[in-house]
Amino acid sequence: MIGLMQHDEKTGREKPLLRAYSIASPSWDEELEFYSIKVPDGPLTSRLQHIGPGDQIILRPKPVGTLVHDALLPGKRIWFFATGTGFAPFASLLRDPQTYEDYDEVIITHTCREVGELAYGREVIENIRKDELLEELIGEGFHEKLRYYPTTTREQSPKMGRITDLMRDGTVFADLGVEPLCAETDRAMICGNLAFNLELKAMLEEYGLEEGANSNPRHYVVEKAFLD
């Protein structure tokens, strides 16, 4: 939870205005990185986007969330399914050595309406592939395990379509040269808007995958702090 103090007109006092944000930086980093859209009239983001070095924000000290490796059983391949700013937690996990230690293949899909919305994710992927520190932490050639699959739904791009539709017609599996998901080999994490989360959750269940938790590791997990 991060936020700012705001004036309460009813009480005349200052009170905290907080929102949930995914930490985009890896666990080993000395800095905290967050990824957000800029909402011009948003109660928090309309102010948060203008802060600068030296300004103070509120940061709740205890992080929570479901997108953690401990909630998944061992597998061969992991899928990270993201829409919009739902890419943020995967920006962290994609720079986590455990991701590459646990899996032979790491696939990140990112679906946005417009090409510009893919820029942050593309930059993260490009930096990972040439990051010497990560190579030192994880091992030479680790990035060869990483597959990036961006799509758009409105603006023209090399790959158009909702990821769920591309899974239903088999396009994504053909493009990546992999078999459809199955419980024996595949693990998955989902982070996006509520409708996307629910639709993909139902699809993974159809593939035979079961939802996991820290207390009961299974085949996939969904971020519970839904992004609207």
Residue 19 β-bridge partners: 2
- List the one residue out of 89, 102, 88, 106 whose CA is nearest residue 143: 106
Domains and CATH numbers, the chain: 1-63 (2.40.30.10), 69-222 (3.40.50.80)
Residues 29-62 pLDDT 10s: 999 999 988 877 888 888 888 899 999 999 998 8
User: In the numeric block, which tokens belong to residue 86?
Assistant: 């739902």
Phi and psi at 185, nearest 5°, equal -115, -25
Q: Can you give the pLDDT at residue 39?
A: 79
At residue 2 the predicted structure's pLDDT band, cuts being 50, 70 and 90, is very high
- Does 186 or 61 have the greater pLDDT score? 186
Whether pLDDT at 217 is above 70: yes
Q: Can you give the pLDDT at residue 109?
A: 98
* C-beta neighbour count of 163 within 10 angstroms: 26
Q: Can you give the pLDDT at residue 64?
A: 83
What is the average pLDDT value for the chain, to the nearest integer? Answer: 93
Q: Report the share of the chain in percent with pLDDT over 90.
A: 74
User: In the numeric block, which tokens belong to residue 87?
Assistant: 């890419």
Residues 126-172 pLDDT 10s: 999 998 888 988 888 898 999 999 999 999 999 999 999 999 999 99
Q: Can you give the pLDDT at residue 11?
A: 86
